[in-house]
Amino acid sequence: MLDTTPLLTAVERLADRLRATPESRLRRGAAAVGLALAREFALRAQRLEFPDREPLPMPDAGIFAVADQLAVAGRDLALVVGTAPSGELDGAVALVEAAEKRLQGF
């Protein structure tokens, strides 16, 4: 089983950052960045856990819920990735880092 601590740490850091983001920045696109990452994590987790089933999309629960959606999707992915090839874990951490960079523009 892989150590998913780097993914969990990165996801929690980004989720905390989104929780502290002012509403105006969330509306300008920061929430969309977080939701896109949460949706990607949810899809990846479902594809790994249930490869024979079509993944269900994560709904948009609003700008104030996006940090929690990201935290939940990140934890779900970490649970599944812990038993997957290491490239999955590295790729997920890289996605969080890319999202953090995109958030710098908001």
> What pLDDT is attached to residue 86?
61
Confidence of residue 105 (pLDDT cuts 50, 70, 90): confident
What six digits make up the tokens of 85? 């090839």
What six digits make up the tokens of 83? 């038993």
Summarised one tens digit per residue, pLDDT across range 49-85 is 999 999 999 999 999 999 999 999 999 999 999 887 6
Summarised one tens digit per residue, pLDDT across range 6-34 is 999 999 999 999 999 999 999 999 999 99
CA separation for the pair 101, 76 (Å, rounded): 23
User: Of residues 28 and 105, which shows the higher confidence score?
Assistant: 28
User: Of residues 96 and 87, which shows the higher confidence score?
Assistant: 96
Cβ 13 vs Cβ 99: under 8 Å: no
Is the dihedral angle over the CA atoms 79, 66, 31, 71 positive or is it negative?
Answer: negative
